[in-house]
Structure 1
Amino acid sequence: MSTKYPTSTRWIGTDEAGKGDYFGPLVVAGVLVDDSIAKSFKELGIRDSKKLSDSRVRDLATRIKKTSLFSTVIIGPEKYNELYCEIGNLNRLLAWGHSRVIENILKTEQCAYAIADQFGDEKFIIQALMEKGKNIQVLQRAGAESDMAVAAASIIARAEFIQRLAALSLKYGIDFPKGASPQVIETGKEFVERYGKERLNEVAKFHFKTTKLVLAKTGDTQQSIAT
């Protein structure tokens, strides 16, 4: 069943990458499309980045950036942990990121509405929008990646996440895996043993329950780390 959106020739799609990954940043991206660009994206094979290989994601991200106005907000692990402690709610943190990319695009071009994948109450994004974003309609829908603008945003966000995670791996000499699997826990243990628990917030999202599992592996507890 197709979802009906407001009739408009231009709209913004937003999506994020890194939300469920213990290591690496949270990246939010927004892409502005019109009917013609959306059609060309469909012909190009643009779809939800989770259904694409990393190499394909990188290739498509390059093509999207040459075609459309876009914006990215990159929240590295240290800043992410700082903001999470300040905001105290992941949905509000996501809303902050989504609203920023919408605003950034609206500084250059205007459009009627923006579409985001469902992650919480729509009011989180609406409340987070500043002056230039207040006149735009924000729609959140489950499975919004079927929209070409949202799918394109998911690809740009994922490509940036992949690049940033690789940079962290190079910096610390540890191959940081995606997700929050048992392999992630073992990698976290290796990091703590090499660099110390105090530096875990440089590479990981500290509020994940994975942190307790990592520290338990090293014989320590999360409570012993000052946040």
Structure 2
Amino acid sequence: MHALKIFVQFVLVADAQLTPLLRLGAGACAGIIAMSATYPMDMVRGRLTVQTEKSPYQYRGMFHALSTVLREEGFRALYKGWLPSVIGVVPYVGLNFAVYESLKDWLIKSKPFGLVEDNELGVVTRLACGAAAGTVGQTVAYPLDVIRRRMQMVGWNNASSIVTGDGRAKAPLEYTGMIDAFRKTVRHEGFRALYKGLVPNSVKVVPSIAIAFVTYEQVKELLGVEIRISD
């Protein structure tokens, strides 16, 4: 799903007539629309993934979680944490594009280690450029993803005991907004808490971005061949 979303963003900004700024804007808009359309599923997924066998309250599945959240917390609860997600789209997409294109340009111009032949990058080199871009983009935007996850738990009466997994009564998680969530997380857990789970998330996200970039490039080349033939 993540790789498909990023790939759609790239395809939407493939028009060569767009300036870099317009490409960034188009990619960000595409990402925001795609993310907003599927956000309730992401919110429910977040809650399902933190519950354990020891949790005092269990969602039985996706539809049970959706109906329970709607009944107990209202429709707006399905979009908790949406704002940091939207804010994170711009640096995430922008850095992915900027790092990927900059690396490509540098490699083609400098031709280090024999990685470039006839001003073309190979698939493995493109994968490496995509992986580097994904690493930078996801590292910069990751704190917003952590805050999004935290905010998704707000209003869930069982959230604290679900997260700890010990079933003991805890004070409910409460944030008044994104800034408050940032402040309380750093104050109580330190700055490193904003990067909890970065490594396993990178194992999933970075390869998907690299593959998406290479797929994008290959599709562009295929479409270019088809256009030249039809002309």
For the criterion TM > 0.5, the same-fold answer is: no
TM-score by length of 1: 0.33
TM-score by length of 2: 0.32
Q: Which has the higher helix share?
A: 2
Higher relative contact order (CA 8 A, sep 6+): 1
Q: Which has the higher strand share?
A: 1
Flag the structure with larger Rg.
2
